[in-house]
Structure 1
Amino acid sequence: MTAVVPEPAQDRDVRRRELAAFLRSRRERVTPEQVGLPRGPRRRTPGLRREEVAQLAAVGVTWYTWIEQGRAAHISAQVLDAVARALLMDAAERAHLYALAGTSDPHTEAECTVASRSALRIVERLAPYPASLQNARYDVLAANRPYAQVFGDPAELPPDQRNCLWLLTTSERWRRDFLDRDEMLRDLVAKYRASMAEHVGEPVWEARLKRLLDVSPEFRRLWERHEVAPMVAHVKRYLHPRVGLLRLEHRNMWLAPQAPAQRVVAYVPADECTEERLERLERLAGLAGPA
């Protein structure tokens, strides 16, 4: 298990100064009229005054002043939420605020599950190789026809079951056809734990974890081992009922470096035999008509 290294004091000071400057810039941008306050004849401060932000956020004036002066430590998520609302921050500004404070946003909304047209085009163009579009929680947002032929069509499942962890844990088909299923599950649980370190307290992540812990003693045992693993390419074996053994290497291509992060997951043949079998599967699907 990787030890958590405390942030150096110098880095904390830099983050506090950046947070202070960011809040001042946002405060000066918001006009009294935008938040329902009278402007008054003697206002010289651009935007809002500190005491007005404190009043709107229902926090102490002294505490808010310390935050803007870079003197406050351990600012709670509740205070950050109140300040973000008072300053009319949009989603990007709010995410930046929490990042500077080094705190997870407990009110992060569910990631968008609508795939962009360009992402869908990439997934489709990878045929005859199986490919899917996934988010950081391993939800399958879209998949091409080869993916559906090899792993099953996600569109036939309820939305809350279109998830690789859920399927590895509960699907009889995945348990039967994936020859490395137990190893895959251990690896994916370790990757999920590593990813979740950046999303502790976020409702959609916590809900996914709770559901898996409740439904699967096997998942619960693996989770309690506290193992973490990096995102690396690897070869897995699948026994397809129509074309036989497939050896596929998983390749990830992230489409954006920030939330909502999505990636194209391509399953590339690890040998010529697998490539031939995928091409045969594509021909068989063509003979059968549209999926």
Structure 2
Amino acid sequence: MSGAANRELGKFLRNRRESRSPNQMGIAPRGRRRTPGLRREEVAERAGVSTTWYTWLEQGRPVRASRQVLDSIARALDLSAAETMHLFKLAGEKPLSGSPAPLKISPAYDRLLRRLEPNPAYIINRRLDLLSWNKGVVALLPHLDMLPPEDRNIVWLMCTDPWMHELIPDWQGQVSRLTAMLRSESADAIDDPEFQYLIRRIEAASPEFRQAWATRRLETFRSGSLNWHHPAAGTFTADYVRLHIADDPRLSVVIQILRNPETLNKLADIIASMSLDVEVA
């Protein structure tokens, strides 16, 4: 690293440290504070490094930080995905797979999902986990809210849930397509234990997934259409698009746009009946 890069790294860390309040980070007050934000020793303790070494880093001294240490500092400061990427770039390192910063969904995106109803819309990460969804999705998958978080994955549901087999006429084709999409993310997730656990879990549960995964076919997401066969809404086609979230490039919104006004009305009726059931309960 050059001297300029060291100094910029130090300024960046100090800026982020001073912008974090102890209450925000869950740190109990320790006496009177003369400077804003966290103390250096508090960040060092959370990151598992010495206060002296962290101070040198903030001072722009020529000290070398490993990827693991940078990851710990990013977590200690609760950096966003963009901030974490910037930290690693300043340090001349490639971020660890699995993205150290936690995923955060702005409430504005949840409001967007609701505005899109009755069109099904949801937010996913690169592992194709379902992180947030609207009532249009629940109208198609009524048991989704009751599933444990580890089962709320598009590939897992497609491969293991009998309901999906009934809903999707081209079920085999969708298994192959989604598996290829998941495979395309695997190069960046070799060291991610959660990603590897997901793969092993689906392999153990689905022979169709095992066969498709073994082909090593790759496919990136492309807009297209999907046919559904729903017991209440009937047979219909939805055009789908995927929009990346600027707040966090690991997240994206998938919207299924229903072509037929009659289907829109049927899904709206299903959503209305769901709301009535909740009120009665």
Alignment TM-score > 0.5, same fold: yes
Give 2:22's aligned residue: none
Cα displacement (A) at 1:160: 0.6
The reply to whether residue 278 of structure 1 matches residue 264 of structure 2 is yes
Q: What CA distance in whole angstroms lies between the structure 2 residues aligned with 1:110 and 1:89?
A: 10
Q: Helix, strand or coil for the counterpart of 1:232?
A: coil
* Unmatched segments (≥5 aa) in structure 1: 1-15, 58-78
**Structure 1's 49 and 217: CA in aligned 2 closer, same or farther, altered over 3 A?**
same
Q: What CA distance in whole angstroms lies between the structure 2 residues aligned with 1:220 and 1:231?
A: 21
Contact kept? 2:189, 2:195, Cα under 8 Å: yes
Aligned equivalent of 1:37, options 15, 36, 52: 52
**Structure 1's 186 and 85: CA in aligned 2 closer, same or farther, altered over 3 A?**
closer
Q: Which amino acid aligns with 1:82?
A: V
Aligned equivalent of 1:199, options 189, 193, 207: 189
Q: What CA distance in whole angstroms lies between the structure 2 residues aligned with 1:278 and 1:200?
A: 41
Aligned equivalent of 2:69, options 82, 100, 112: 82
**Structure 1's 86 and 192: CA in aligned 2 closer, same or farther, altered over 3 A?**
closer
Cα displacement (A) at 1:24: 4.7
Q: What CA distance in whole angstroms lies between the structure 1 residues aligned with 2:125 and 2:113?
A: 14
Pick which of 166-175 and 145-154 moved more.
Answer: 145-154
Cα displacement (A) at 1:254: 1.6
TM-score, normalization: structure 1?
0.69
Q: What CA distance in whole angstroms lies between the structure 1 residues aligned with 2:271 and 2:248?
A: 37
Give 1:95's aligned residue: 85
Give 1:67's aligned residue: none
Q: What CA distance in whole angstroms lies between the structure 1 residues aligned with 2:95 and 2:59?
A: 28
CA offsets 1:200-231 (integer angstroms, 9 cap, x no match): 31233222223222332321221111111121
Q: Helix, strand or coil for the counterpart of 1:251?
A: strand
Q: Which amino acid aligns with 2:263?
A: R
CA offsets 1:18-53 (integer angstroms, 9 cap, x no match): xx753453257779x755339xxxx9x982643xx3
Contact kept? 1:143, 1:154, Cα under 8 Å: no
Q: What CA distance in whole angstroms lies between the structure 2 residues aligned with 1:23 and 1:122?
A: 41
The reply to whether residue 171 of structure 1 matches residue 161 of structure 2 is yes
Q: Helix, strand or coil for the counterpart of 2:111?
A: helix
Aligned residues: 239
Cα displacement (A) at 1:120: 0.9
Give 1:47's aligned residue: 59
Q: Helix, strand or coil for the counterpart of 1:256?
A: coil
Q: Helix, strand or coil for the counterpart of 1:189?
A: helix
Contact kept? 1:30, 1:47, Cα under 8 Å: no
CA offsets 1:138-188 (integer angstroms, 9 cap, x no match): 111122212111133421111110110110010000011210111111111
Q: Which amino acid aligns with 1:22?
A: A
Pick which of 176-185 and 165-174 moved more.
Answer: 176-185
The reply to whether residue 269 of structure 1 matches residue 264 of structure 2 is no
The reply to whether residue 126 of structure 1 matches residue 116 of structure 2 is yes
Cα displacement (A) at 1:284: 4.4
Contact kept? 1:95, 1:105, Cα under 8 Å: no
Greater Rg, structure 1 or structure 2?
1
Contact kept? 1:147, 1:153, Cα under 8 Å: no
Q: What CA distance in whole angstroms lies between the structure 2 residues aligned with 1:110 and 1:49?
A: 25
Pick which of 92-101 and 199-208 moved more.
Answer: 92-101
Q: Which amino acid aligns with 2:246?
A: A
Q: What CA distance in whole angstroms lies between the structure 2 residues aligned with 1:46 and 1:242?
A: 61
Give 2:177's aligned residue: 187
TM-score, normalization: structure 2?
0.71
Q: Which amino acid aligns with 2:9?
A: R
Task: Spell out the pairing of 1:1-291 with structure 2 (5 A cutoff).
Answer: 21-27=4-10, 34=41, 35-37=50-52, 47=59, 49-50=61-62, 53=63, 79-82=66-69, 91=79, 94-98=84-88, 101=92, 103-106=94-97, 108-109=99-100, 111-112=102-103, 115-256=105-246, 258-259=248-249, 261-270=250-259, 272=260, 275-287=261-273, 289-291=276-278
